[in-house]
Amino acid sequence: MDTLWEYVAVAFGLLVVFGGLAATLLRGRGGATKELPRERPAEQAGQPRPAPDDETERASGGSVDTLPAPTDDTTAPDTLPPVTVPEVERPEAPQTRLQRLRARLARSNTALGKGLLALLSRGDLDEAAWEEVEDTLLTADLGVEASTELVDHLRTKVKVHGNADEATVRGWLREELLTLVDPSMDRSITSSRVDGRPAVIVVVGVNGTGKTTTVGKLARVLVAEDKDVVLGAADTFRAAAADQLQTWGERVGVPTVRSDRDGADPAAVAFDAVKGAAEMEADVVLIDTAGRLHNKVGLMDELGKVKRVIEKQSPIDEVLLVLDATTGQNGLRQAEVFSEVVGITGIVLTKLDGTAKGGIVVAVQRKLGVPVKLIGLGEGPDDLAPFDPAGFVDAIID
């Protein structure tokens, strides 16, 4: 019995010895399995805790990628990559652009000014000659009433003073045209804070008049006058209208309030723009509205709704109607309907160069009883300027 237990003890000892040798050989050949370090909690590794479910993925509308925890040898870069800041333009000052536009206006309205001077300076004007003078005025879109009035005044001067030289006739013509343009009308635009709130300017017009572009150019005029401007992209029906307006704003460092989706309620966007401008303590907010035909009752009713909704937030200080000057007398009916719906306070005449006739300024003012406040004479970003009656008349007859 004792001998049996001795054999068992010897066998167990040999097993231990051979087992130790085998383990040593395996470690020498790299065959041992290394212990994996235990994963640190996410918050200790400097990473956000993973979401317990897919709520984050559903909220973002896409998959959520989890970045791996940085290893111990990860170091922050010494310098961050440079940030590209878009260059903000400094618009041309209004007075500077007025001088440039005056020369362009003179070139585009020779039919009215030079034609009249040629007729009036030839002496001994008979009825046929006066009819030709009146026809020239009508061709320039001055309108029947204003043309008749101007001819009557000129005939009286000729009767009183007799035939005169060109310089004298030029003086008569300038005086009469300036009276028709009416320099006494208030052409200022409310663009400063009113009673502690931003001034609100709504821009309206038919399709194709360059309304959104006009809003962008007007923003440049106001920025040049050191005004803090906010744009409201309430034209939610025309594709890319909001993008177009935002691009205009970004060029001069002006924020744009817009909807993220096409077809949004324009009244809601306009309301948010006015509210946002108040929160930003801006000087003025410009609201761009969708172009609409003046004979479409539903669209005009919607424009009236935009006006009413804005007025729940703030009074409206200006409603500017953008008219294409090349439409001439055809644009006057458009102006009447818009004035009835939203109460126009001023006119912006675009495309007054080229085929446009200067007489439309007089015609539209007489039709609506409101002044032309801005004129556009080209495609450049600074080709919009405040309307100067004396400069306008001088450009026509010089």
Whether residue 205 is annotated as binding a ligand: the answer is yes
- Give yes or no for residue 188 having a pLDDT over 90: yes
Q: What strands, in cross-sheet order, belong to the sheet with 372-376? A: 256-257, 229-234, 284-289, 199-205, 318-324, 346-350, 372-376, 384-386
**Quick check: 22 pLDDT over 70?**
no
| pLDDT tops 80 at residue 203 | yes
Q: Is 249 annotated as a binding residue?
A: no
**Is 90 exceeded by the pLDDT of residue 310?**
yes
* 290 annotated as belonging to a binding site for a ligand: yes
Q: Residue 362: what residue type?
A: V
For residues 314 and 179, give the distance between their C-alpha atoms in angstroms, rounded to a whole number: 36
Averaged over 304-332, what is the pLDDT?
88
Other Cβ atoms less than 10 A from the Cβ of 115: the count is 18
Task: Give mean pLDDT, residues 178-186.
Answer: 92
Q: Residue 91 and residue 135: Cα distance in Å, rounded?
A: 41
Q: How far apart are CA 162 and CA 155, in angstroms?
A: 10
Q: What percent of the chain has pLDDT over 90?
A: 31
pTM over 0.85: no
Is the predicted pLDDT of residue 12 greater than 50, yes or no? yes
351 annotated ligand binder: yes
49 annotated among ligand-binding-site residues: no
- Is 382 known to sit in a ligand binding site? no
Which pLDDT score is estimated for 63? 32
Q: What is the pLDDT of residue 18?
A: 56
Residue 121: predicted pLDDT:
72
What's the pLDDT band for 77 if we cut at 50, 70, 90?
very low
Distance CA 377, CA 101 (A): 7
**Exposed e or buried b for every residue in 264-290, given b needs 16+ CB within 10 A?**
bebbebbbbbbbbbbeeebbbbbbbbb
What is the DSSP-derived secondary structure letter of residue 244?
Answer: H
Point out the least confidently predicted range of 28-42, 107-121, 129-143, 342-356: 28-42
**Is 212 annotated among the ligand-binding residues?**
yes
Mean pLDDT calculated for residue range 326-355: 81
Query: Is 208 annotated for ligand binding?
Result: yes
Average pLDDT score, the chain:
76
pLDDT in tens, 87-132: 777 777 766 666 666 666 666 555 567 777 777 777 677 788 888 8
291 is in an annotated binding site: yes
Specify the pLDDT at position 10.
Answer: 55
Residue 397 CA neighbour count, 13 Å, CB half:
23
The answer to the question of whether 289 is labelled as a binding residue is yes
On the CB side of 49, CA atoms within 13 Å amount to 6
Mean pLDDT of 148-162: 86
207 is in an annotated binding site: yes
Q: The tokens 């509205």 sit on which residue? A: 289
pLDDT greater than 60 at residue 358: yes
pLDDT in tens, 245-269: 999 999 999 999 999 877 789 999 9
Of 103-107, 228-232, 328-332, 343-347, the one with minimum mean pLDDT is 103-107
pLDDT at 159: 82
391 is in an annotated binding site: no
Q: Which of 73-77, 125-129, 283-287, 363-367 has the highest mean pLDDT?
A: 283-287
Task: Find out whether 143 is annotated in a ligand binding site.
Answer: no
What average pLDDT does this structure show over 175-179?
Answer: 91
**Which of the 8 DSSP states describes residue 386?**
E
User: Who has greater pLDDT, 358 or 218?
Assistant: 218
- Residue 66 marked in a binding site: no
Which pLDDT value is given to residue 97? 66
Specify the higher pLDDT residue, 398 or 34.
398
288 labelled ligand-binding: yes
